[in-house]
Chains A and B, each alone.
Chain A
Amino acid sequence: MAMRELVTGGAACAVPGSSSSSNPFGALANALVGSSSKTQERLKEIPTATPTTSGSNVYTGIGEPFTALPGSEFDHQLQPSGQGSEFLRGFRSADQNGFADAWDEIHNPPVHRFPLEHNQLQPELDGPPQRVLSSFLHSFVNCSHGGLPFRPSPLPGLGLSEGDKKCIRDRSSIMARHFFADKSENFVNAQVNALLSSLDIDNDIRDAGPLPGRFRELEEYWNDSQVMKPGPHAADGWISEFAQHRVGHGNPNAWAHSFEQQHGANGWASEFEHEQSQITTIDQMRGANIPSLAAMEQTRMLAHTLAQNNDPKFQNSKFLQFVSKMSRGEITIEDNQVKPSAYSAPGDWASEYQRQYNGGQSWADQFVHDEASKKSTELSHGPHGWVNEFSTEQEQHGSVDDQWVSEFSKLNVNDWVDEFGRKVVEGASGEDSADNWANAYDEYLNEQTTVKQRSETSRGVYVFSDLNPYVGHPNPLKKGQELFRKGLLSEAVLALEAEVLKNPDNAEGWRLLGIAHAENDDDQQAIASMMRAQEVDPTNLEVLLALGVSHTNELEQAAALRYLYSWLRYHPKYSTIAPPELADSLYFADVARFFNDAAIMSPEDADVHIVLGVLYNLSREYDKAIESFKTALKLKPRDYSLWNKLGATQANSVQSADAISAYQQALDLKPNYVRAWANMGISYANQGMYEESIRYYVRALAMNPKADNAWQYLRISLSCASRNDMMDACDTRNLDVLQKEFPL
């Protein structure tokens, strides 16, 4: 709900002097986008903007450290000499309004209106690192274009990786040579060195020098912004944004450090690559992305505001990160849903926050303060505020049931909300409801990332594990098969991942990976792997069956039906039974009929019965399914996965006692069958035997700590068994404690 406010126009983010004060995002976006179209032209033309009067201050300030920079050949040229003054002139002209003004802003806070159009060519030494870097490089390019010597400004510690540095080094050398083809070799080298030294490449420690006065701050601001990935547009709006958001300029160091701690700046290289395409696509983006740009900018502004608060708790809060992320365009809000955009970074974000979140007490207050003018909420006033806010919001959406609202207010609100709040907090400390809300919101964010991850895999995007020890192994497939046979499912997964990383077209690798995931009780990853296997080998029957099974588990009926039908079509013996034209509009009844025909054709074929069993699960004709599986089992009694299928079917038709014995058979055949352990837990839980179920869940989780389903179920069982003392252990996924407490 809060996000909506943000997106649709939070009060805190007004852009003074802009055309439409009611929609700061729109204004900013227009300004941004408006200027970005000029970007292209700007980048190509020679800088001719007039030097500003205030520029002289900056200029002097920046001039000083040049002498302090060791090793830069350019330093010498800065001494009063023909080239030096030419350089200085060049610098000044390159340094246009925005930079100078912003710098002054920092030190003499007046509220300025920035002509956004003018700040293209100066390198933004503040703002997100990629942006800074790109603008820095642009200015290099432009200076080069204009035949002006490039001045090295100390831009320390961008956190460029070695690869990045090498890339920059190479490219800039080439570029410089190209630009200064008419000048001497030395000059070219000097330019390149200037650029490189500014970027702290060649491993020289440029930033260790004592930088005078204003420059230190500049450096720090730079460090601050290291990690924020910019949105797809090369932003100039930073300057004006900065003007708006000097809200309580706290200690920049704290902010810097906290950000530094939390993140590493990577992705610069890709940004650099994108740089070129960005420029060309800016115009296309304009049309398509204005609302998202607007949203992004507003959230960025908000993030900036929020980040001014130097309380580390606040900074670490997931909400801030969420907002930052939104501002970077990594996630966007559409239809009141948070959606990851194409630029989202992989899921480490969530785990980082998990580690560092400390509770957002001060954040909550700050947030309330910021939002106070927009909402009439009294978040900090306890339950009533939240309630009122919620009911007003409901009213806005026109879906309020009056009776409900009045009943709601009649009820003893305190009790309800307290309980609500308590439940929401889940063991964390928060007493006041704002804190609870913060916690709940963080949970929501966590959920979002898991949802995102889940939805990624359901679209067939496989999520690889980090830190895979098998990468580089000479024959990971063999290793994987070995580990699988031994029953070490998680290890097998890693080895197989190494295999498919090496050979993405190895159908067998993907297939086995899929099976391993399914047995490890991770249908999402199983589906993703199997889909890759199918891409490589569309006719592999086992793959098709596995896909059918996984989709059935996820209750995705249409998809499951499709796969099972394909199984029939691609089967050498039965393909004649299944007419291909039916593939588009599959009716369950028809497919079942075909399979029954196949069964009649060859009653000794266990596979047909297995597929039939799965099919009947889909239509919830459990008795028939059980019959099919039993028939198959007579033919293949040592197939552990078949026992599990039988068990699951029985469990789903609430024949839990039978289910448990079937699972036991499966486990006898394969003791590390995580899925069977989890299913056992489910069967006990469904019978109300929560204590027992806990033990089985814990056992399953001990074998595969990544089985998210099992964690959820464990949680439910813990609360049903009134073991809230263990709830913390469950939430923190503390297996040791849980195993000790609930042995089998």
Chain B
Amino acid sequence: MASSSELKSAALMDQMKLHLASDAGKDLVKKIGLVYQINIAPKKISFNEEIYVVDLKKGEVTKGPYEGGKPDATFSFTDQDFFKVATGKMNPQIAFMRGAMKVKGSLSAAQKFTPDIFPKPSKM
């Protein structure tokens, strides 16, 4: 299960994947039921992106662009910024206003993309 990616976000994605298999994850799927594509770039948005699809309809996280149609919303972040948003250090609205987060697609879907859908990493 070890991801070969260097990105911090990869770790978060893996955790999300595990999380979705759990009960809490299933609740999330019920609550949201949308498909998000998240493009994460190491340093600058749109350069060398790694693409993840957080499918909250099926309850899985996959790597690579979404094949099953169009994602409800697509986000673009840098690694650092995604980490901050997912762990609640940065508000998605702030990220949006600063241009740290780019959004495409349905805005109502985008609004549902909040830090609380991501599980938090525990500290050793």
Residues in A lying within 8 Å of B, measured CB to CB: 1, 336, 399, 401, 404, 407-408, 411, 416, 419-420, 423-424, 437, 440, 443-444, 447, 521, 523, 549, 552-558, 588, 614, 617, 619-622, 644-645, 647-649, 651-654, 656, 659, 675, 678-679, 682-683, 685-688, 708-709, 712-713, 715-717, 719-720
Contact = CB atoms under 8 A, between A and B. Distances in A.
A373 B73 CA distance: 35
Given A447-B90, A654-B19, A682 B98 contact: no
Contact of B120 (A659, A686, A688): A686
24 contacts: A1-B97, A1-B99, A401-B104, A440-B94, A549-B124, A553-B124, A555-B8, A557-B6, A588-B2, A620-B1, A644-B124, A645-B124, A648-B122, A652-B15, A652-B122, A653-B18, A654-B15, A654-B21, A654-B119, A683-B122, A688-B23, A712-B87, A716-B88, A720-B116
A627 B27 CA distance: 30
B68 interface: no
Given A408-B107, A419-B111, A719 B116 contact: yes
How many chain B residues sit at the interface, stated as a range, is 35 or more
B52 to A, nearest CB: 15
Contacts of A620: 1-3, 11, 14
Contacts of A336: 99
B103 A404 contact: yes
A654 B61 CA distance: 15
Contacts of B89: 708-709, 712
Contact of B88 (A556, A621, A715): A715
Nearest to A518: B123
A687 B94 contact: no
Interface in B67-124: 83, 87-91, 93-94, 97-99, 102-108, 111, 115-116, 119-124
A521 B116 contact: no
B32 to A, nearest CB: 13
Contacts of B124: 549, 552-553, 614, 617, 644-645, 648-649
B49 to A, nearest CB: 14
B40 to A, nearest CB: 13
What 6 pairs between A and B have smallest CB-CB spacing?
A: A712-B88, A651-B122, A688-B24, A555-B8, A648-B122, A619-B2
B62 interface: no
B123 A555 contact: no
B65 to A, nearest CB: 16
Given A558-B6, A654-B21, A407 B107 contact: yes
Interface of B: 1-3, 6, 8, 11-12, 14-15, 18-19, 21-24, 27, 46, 83, 87-91, 93-94, 97-99, 102-108, 111, 115-116, 119-124
Contacts of B106: 407
Contact of B121 (A408, A549, A652, A712): A652
A553 B1 contact: no
A614 B124 CA distance: 8
A444 to B, nearest CB: 6
Given A617-B124, A620-B11, A621-B2, 4 more contacts: A404-B104, A407-B106, A557-B6, A712-B89
Contact of B98 (A404, A444, A648, A717): A444
Nearest to A399: B102
A423 B93 contact: yes
Contacts of B6: 557-558
Contacts of A675: 123
Contacts of A424: 91, 93-94, 97
B88 A404 contact: no
Contact of A553 (B12, B115, B121): B121
Contacts of A523: 123
Contact of B116 (A408, A553, A716): A716
Contacts of A656: 22
Given A553-B124, A555-B11, A621-B2, A443 B94 contact: yes
Contacts of B111: 416, 419-420
A719 B92 CA distance: 14
A654 B122 contact: no
A690 to B, nearest CB: 9
Contact of B115 (A558, A683, A688, A716): A716
B35 to A, nearest CB: 17
Contacts of A622: 1
Contacts of B27: 688
Nearest to B103: A404
B54 to A, nearest CB: 16
Contacts of B116: 716-717, 719-720
A687 B123 contact: no
A683 to B, nearest CB: 7
